[in-house]
Chain A
Amino acid sequence: MVNDIILGQYMPTGSFIHKASPKLKIISLFLFTFSLFLIKDSYLYFYFLAVAFIILKLARLRASYLLRGLKPLIFIFVFTFVLNIMFSEGDKLLWEWGIIKITEEGLLYSFKFFMKVTLLVIYATLLTLTTSPVELSDGIEDCLRPLKLVKFPVHEFSLMMTIALRFIPTLVMEIDKIKRAQEARGANFSEGSLTERAKNFVPILIPLFITSFKRADELAIAMESRCYMGGEGRTRFRRKKDGAADYLMFIAVLAAVFPALVNFLASL
């Protein structure tokens, strides 16, 4: 079923990475992302690829899962790669045709950009493969908690995420049902020009909006009936506390990104 593809990117294997604190894993993702943009020398991209691979193995996951997550993005990768090659500025001209200029700098730049994007996706996928949607949502809430000081509605934000996650499978089924119902009335979603196809989505979007509003209304009433009074005074079921193992893992992450910092400082 479609819902499995969207949410089931989570592959539980019981490794210690799976059991690690979601908050620290999310912060680690940010650290890795940040490092990717600090790097000056290209060989470090391969270093980070190797680190990703090590994490993959520690999480007892197969490379094929990772590749499955990358597949939908291949088109974007290739597209941006080609675009960058063709249109970036540089001095050492290699080939020219009309407005298309391929320079050595352009080639290098494209490569770096490609690697940054690919690695970003790889690390993000590693996070979603090792962290269930519930944990992710809890982790994000924990990360955002300091923002309470600036009156950011952390709890509301987190609840919105939880509810959105919970309703994704429902919405997917709803879309499928409405699509089939309209097809039975002769609607065609695969033919026609781009503008025609866009127009064809109206018979799906409007009913979807309407049922979604009704749903939201009913859900709100149900939540109030279960004594939902807002975020004040709410406690949390099964709040995992960060332990020694989690901090050790985080230290390992800091060590892993250190070379990037060194490389950056060295280039200044």
Chain B
Amino acid sequence: MSVKKTLISLKNVSFTYNRGLPTECAALFGVDLDIFSSEIITLIGHTGSGKSTLVQLLNSQQTPDSGEIKWHIEGVCDAKGLPVRRRVCSAVGLVFQYPEDQVFEETVYEDIAFGPRRLGKNSEETEKAVFKAAELMGLDKQILYKPPFELSGGTLRKVAIAGVLAMEPRVLVLDEPMAGLDPKSCDGFAKLLLGLRECLDLSIVMVSHNLEYAAALSDKIYCMSGGRIVLSGDPREVFSNIDKLEEFQIGFLPSAVIARDLSGRGIKFEKTPLTAEELATEILKNYGK
């Protein structure tokens, strides 16, 4: 098992939009967060909880008003040890919601090549990066030479993500990556993310309000509300804390709630079940069936 290395650390980070203007709006208060290598993290919270703001700070599109963010990724800092925005942008890949909307080039190849070319790669390096990214996203080589607008929404989304992967980031941040996908596509996507972590030793930060997938995929979950992190831990820790989840109206996993209610009636649970299958298994452990 590889040693966990801190890739990004946030200490006491606060951020306000439109500072000094009448439309000033505080978005983050004193956030502490560490992102380790090869980790999948999910940020959960309502619209307005600060998730999207946090995500923009991660790739330095915005800078915090107070507190500090440090990127411990090779090549990101200049000789003085200060982070170079351009390099942070490529080391921390950011995929927005409905990324298929941002595709614009004439062919899929050109669009995926946009990022690497901007990074100054020559045509040989670019081609390598494009092919690799397309393969990782399960895109057929033939698709590369088609105009993007002939493709379905789901495939186009893969193209957009490939465009970010082609820049070879160390951390991939995805804002609601499964928005608008049907359950089958969501499953496929989840498998893809796990595969990416495996192949590339990639850290993945997901913003999502799909609790089931958060539970299934994440190593760590951070719940946000009102610009603060109100609950964090691994999925079982977070979803067993039903009272806090309710307090901040974050939602709940039905299996965890039923487990809590049934344990109140004398049924024992070794661990907090995260799925119906786990719940059924835990219930039956009590009866040796």
Contacts and interface: CB of A to CB of B under 8 A. Distances in A.
Q: Judge A-B direct contact (beta carbons within 8 Å).
A: yes
A186 B119 contact: yes
B177 interface: no
B96 A184 contact: yes
Contacts of B114: 185-187, 203
A180 B56 contact: yes
Please tell me the size bucket of the interface on A: 10 to 19
A206 interface: yes
Contacts of B263: none
Nearest to B103: A207
Contacts of A242: none
A117 to B, nearest CB: 28
B279 interface: no
B87 to A, nearest CB: 10
A182 interface: yes
Given A202-B104, A207-B101, A207-B104, A184 B61 contact: yes
B7 interface: no
Most central of A182, A184, A188, A207 by chain B CB within 10 Å:
A184
- Complex A-B, nearest 9 residue pairs according to Cβ-Cβ distance, in ascending order: A186-B118, A206-B104, A184-B94, A181-B102, A185-B115, A181-B96, A207-B104, A203-B104, A207-B102
Contact of A1 (B23, B59, B61, B96): B23
A210 B103 CA distance: 10
Nearest to B148: A210
Nearest to A4: B23
Contacts of B96: 177, 180-181, 184
Contact of A185 (B23, B101, B149, B167): B167
A147 B193 CA distance: 60
Contacts, number: 55
26 contacts: A4-B23, A177-B101, A178-B101, A180-B56, A180-B96, A181-B99, A183-B61, A184-B89, A184-B93, A185-B115, A185-B118, A185-B163, A185-B164, A185-B167, A186-B86, A186-B89, A186-B90, A186-B119, A187-B114, A202-B104, A203-B114, A207-B102, A207-B103, A207-B104, A210-B101, A210-B149
Interface string A189-214: 00000000000001100110011000
Interface string B98-132: 01011110000000001100110000000000000
Given A1-B23, A210-B149, A182 B119 contact: no
Contacts of B61: 180, 183-184
Chief secondary structure at chain B's binding surface? helix
A187 to B, nearest CB: 6
Interface of A: 1, 4, 177-178, 180-188, 202-203, 206-207, 210-211
Contacts of A180: 56, 61, 96
Among A180, A188, A202, chain B packs the most CB atoms within 10 A around the CB of: A180
A211 B93 CA distance: 23
Contact of B102 (A1, A4, A182, A202): A182
Contacts of A177: 96, 101
B101 to A, nearest CB: 6
Contact of A178 (B89, B95, B102, B163): B102
Nearest to A177: B96
B118 A184 contact: no
A184 B164 contact: yes
Contacts of A202: 104
Contacts of B149: 210
B165 to A, nearest CB: 11
A33 B233 CA distance: 66
Among B93, B101, B103, B119, the most chain A Cβ lie within 10 Å of the Cβ of B101
Nearest to A187: B118
Nearest to B119: A186
A186 B104 contact: no
Contacts of A210: 101, 104, 149
Interface in B147-205: 149, 163-164, 167
Contacts of A203: 102, 104, 114
Contact of A186 (B23, B99, B103, B115): B115
Contacts of A185: 114-115, 118, 163-164, 167
A210 B148 CA distance: 12
Nearest to A180: B61
A211 to B, nearest CB: 6
Nearest to B104: A206
A139 B115 CA distance: 48
A68 to B, nearest CB: 11
A187 B104 CA distance: 13
Nearest to A206: B104
A207 B90 CA distance: 22
